[in-house]
Amino acid sequence: MIRLTDKEFMDIVTYIKSNYGINLTNKRQLIESRMQTVLVEKGFKSFTDYFELVKQNKSDEITAMLNKLTTNHTYFYREPAHFEFLKNTILPRQEKINSRRDIRIWSAGCSSGEEAYTAIMTMMDYFGLKRTSWDFRILATDISLKAMEAATHGLYGAESLKDIPKVWEQRYFINRGENLFELKEEVRNQVFFKRLNLMEPFSFRQQFDLIFCRNVMIYFDQPTKNALINKFYEVLKPGGYLFIGHSETVQRDTSKFLYVEPSVYQKGLS
Ligand SMILES: C[S@@+](CC[C@H](N)C(=O)[O-])C[C@H]1O[C@@H](n2cnc3c(N)ncnc32)[C@H](O)[C@@H]1O
Strands 264-266 and 258-261: antiparallel
What value, to the nearest 5°, has the Cα angle with vertex 131 and ends 125 and 137? 90
Inform me whether the pLDDT recorded for 94 exceeds 80: yes
How would you class 196 by CB atoms within 10 Å of its CB: exposed for 0-12, middle for 13-18, buried for 19 or more?
middle
Which residue's CA is minimally distant from atom 10 of ligand 1?
216
Q: What is the pLDDT of residue 108?
A: 98
Query: With contact defined as beta carbons under 8 Å apart, do 228 and 196 qualify?
Result: no
- Domains in the chain, CATH or no CATH each: 6-69 (1.10.155.10), 81-154+186-266 (3.40.50.150)
Q: What is the pLDDT of residue 225?
A: 96
Give the residue, out of 23, 61, 143, with the most ligand 1 atoms within 8 A of its beta carbon, to mutate for a pocket test. Answer: 143
Percent of the chain residues topping a pLDDT of 70: 99
Q: How far is the first Cα of the chain from the last one, in angstroms, to the nearest whole number? A: 59
Pocket of ligand 1 (CB under 6 A): 20-22, 71-74, 78, 109-111, 115, 142-144, 147, 197-199, 214-216, 245
Return the number of other C-beta atoms located less than 10 Å from residue 16's C-beta.
23
How far is the C-alpha of 255 from the C-alpha of 90, rounded, in Å?
22
The model's pLDDT over 149-179, given as tens digits with 9 standing for 90+, comes to 989 999 999 999 999 999 999 999 999 999 9
How far is the C-alpha of 192 from the C-alpha of 190, rounded, in Å?
7
Share the mean pLDDT of the chain: 94
